[in-house]
Amino acid sequence: MSLKYMILGLVKDYPAHGYDILKVVSRDFADQGPEINKGQLYTLVKKMEEDGLIIREVFQQENTPNRKMIKITPKGEEDFDNWLKSDDAEYDSTRYDFFNKYSFLYKVNHFSMLSKDEIIDKIDRQLKFMEDKYNNFVHAKESMIKKEIDRFRIHIIDYGIDIQKAKIEWLEKIKNDLL
């Protein structure tokens, strides 16, 4: 995923402070990338501003420092819309991409080197993690529905819920195979 288009999409929804963008990217996309820090973000924001894709407007605030809010420009909207309608970055060239998205599989690949009890222990820990993640997704979806969030964003969380269900079922299948 391109950080540039992530930023354009965020500020197209609503103008944001650079720190707010960093929080959203870190909170929602940390494991998927891109990994960024403040320096990288502000360097990219500066370049995007120089390219005319965004502007930073200073908002006066009482009793606190002024804030620079990032807003998308018409040129930025056009660039974002072209990217959104294109096939750019939609196809993964990795043959077994599910390995990249779930690194626990690398360890499963070598479970034959562990005892039955060690395998069950690892699976139980992984099940707990996946069940917690599943429950967090379900609560997030409930919150999104209450807030009347865009239905396509709810479809994305549904995708995450389905993936978590599949992982849980798969882990249970392996565990049952050992018992």
Boundary (domain end) residue, out of 29, 55, 85: 85
Are residue 62 and residue 103 in the same domain, yes or no?
A: no
Indicate whether 90 belongs to any domain.
Answer: no
Indicate whether 42 belongs to any domain.
Answer: yes
pLDDT of res. 74 = 96
- Average the pLDDT over 164-178 and give the result: 94
Are residue 55 and residue 102 in the same domain, yes or no?
A: no
Return the SS3 of 72: strand
Give the structural domain span for 44: 3-85
- Average the pLDDT over 106-125 and give the result: 91
Return the SS3 of 34: coil
Indicate whether 91 belongs to any domain.
Answer: no
Indicate whether 156 belongs to any domain.
Answer: yes
Are residue 159 and residue 119 in the same domain, yes or no?
A: yes
Indicate whether 29 belongs to any domain.
Answer: yes
- Of 103, 111, 9, nearest to 53 (Cα)? 9
pLDDT of res. 118 = 94
Low-confidence winner among 61-75, 80-94, 157-171 (lowest mean pLDDT): 80-94
Half-sphere exposure of 78 (CA within 13 A, CB side): 6
Angle formed at CA 22 by CA 32 and CA 86, multiple of 5 degrees: 55
Are residue 69 and residue 12 in the same domain, yes or no?
A: yes
Burial of 111 (0-12, 13-18, 19+ CB in 10 A): middle
Are residue 114 and residue 169 in the same domain, yes or no?
A: yes
Domain count for the chain: 2
Torsion sign across C-alpha atoms 168, 174, 175, 177: positive
Q: In what order do the strands lie in the sheet with 16-17?
A: 16-17, 67-72, 54-59
Indicate whether 92 belongs to any domain.
Answer: no
Boundary (domain end) residue, out of 26, 55, 85: 85
Are residue 71 and residue 8 in the same domain, yes or no?
A: yes
Say yes or no to pLDDT of 30 above 60: no
Say yes or no to pLDDT of 64 above 90: no
Are residue 107 and residue 149 in the same domain, yes or no?
A: yes
Indicate whether 107 belongs to any domain.
Answer: yes
Indicate whether 133 belongs to any domain.
Answer: yes
Boundary (domain end) residue, out of 26, 54, 85: 85
Return the SS3 of 58: strand
Taking all residues of the chain, what is their mean pLDDT, rounded to a whole number?
Answer: 84
